[in-house]
């Protein structure tokens, strides 16, 4: 879908995880030329702008996320925009609404772990990650790359939890589980 914003968001995220912030920014901008209604493009561009010290432009992107993302469901990224705008209580309330909407979704608890990690609430992040695993989350390659988890990644509790879950999954699948290398 060369004219769809989602493709540019995903490729931009891949570039970002590879450390090529310039290409990531180019893709987020190209996605926004294609569509102005995909909030994740604004969120991701806003994060890069914020990291580059462009707070005014970043805040404008985060505000755009708030305008576009008005449904508390699994596809929401509003909580991250609220966090980047310094509105952590609202971010947590929004995340709780998402979980209340679908308390069985493993991805919702993973997002909660990411949000708490970004907020510096490390113990709560680990607890939410544990809950996501209990609900079935198993994308260990995503966890390995996800910068949302940077604040907890080096904690012994994080390493032990992720390695134990990856090992259990691999054992249950006869050694064919999604392997994880933390370093």
Mean pLDDT of 173-182: 54
CA angle, 14 as apex, 41 and 109 as ends, to 5°?
70
pLDDT tens-digit series, residues 86-105: 999 999 999 999 999 999 99
pLDDT tens-digit series, residues 60-83: 999 999 999 999 999 999 999 999
Which of 112, 133, 136, 134 has its CA nearest to residue 124? 112
Structure confidence at residue 168 as a pLDDT band (50, 70, 90): confident
Cβ contacts of residue 162 below 8 Å, gap of 6+?
129, 140, 143, 180, 182
Q: What is the pLDDT of residue 183?
A: 42
Q: Backbone phi, then psi, for 3, in 5-degree steps?
A: -105, 10
Cα 66 from Cα 60, distance rounded (Å)? 10
Question: Residue 88 CA to chain centroid, in angstroms?
Answer: 16
Check if the beta carbon of residue 141 is closer than 8 Å to that of residue 180. Answer: yes
Cβ contacts of residue 94 below 8 Å, gap of 6+?
72, 76, 78, 79, 82
Three-class SS state of 6 = helix
Cα 135 from Cα 155, distance rounded (Å)? 22
CB atoms within 10 A of CB 49: 20
Cα 55 from Cα 131, distance rounded (Å)? 34
Q: What is the pLDDT of residue 28?
A: 97
């Amino acid at each position: 879908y060369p004219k769809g914003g989602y493709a540019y968001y995903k490729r931009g995220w891949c570039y970002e995880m590879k450390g090529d912030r310039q290409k990531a920014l180019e893709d987020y901008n190209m996605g926004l030329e294609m569509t102005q209604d995909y909030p994740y493009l604004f969120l991701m561009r806003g994060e890069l702008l914020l990291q580059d010290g462009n707070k005014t432009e970043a805040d404008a992107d985060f505000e755009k996320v708030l305008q576009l993302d008005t449904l508390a469901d699994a596809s929401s990224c509003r909580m991250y925009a609220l966090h980047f705008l310094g509105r952590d209580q609202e971010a947590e309330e929004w995340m709780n609404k998402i979980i209340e909407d679908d308390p069985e979704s493993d991805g919702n608890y993973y997002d909660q772990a990411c949000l708490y990690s970004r907020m510096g609430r490390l113990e709560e992040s680990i607890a939410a990650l544990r809950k996501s695993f209990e609900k079935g989350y198993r994308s260990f390659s995503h966890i390995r790359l996800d910068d949302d988890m940077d604040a907890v990644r080096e904690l012994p509790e994080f390493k032990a939890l992720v390695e134990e879950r990856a090992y259990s999954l691999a054992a249950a699948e006869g050694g064919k589980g999604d392997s994880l290398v933390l370093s």
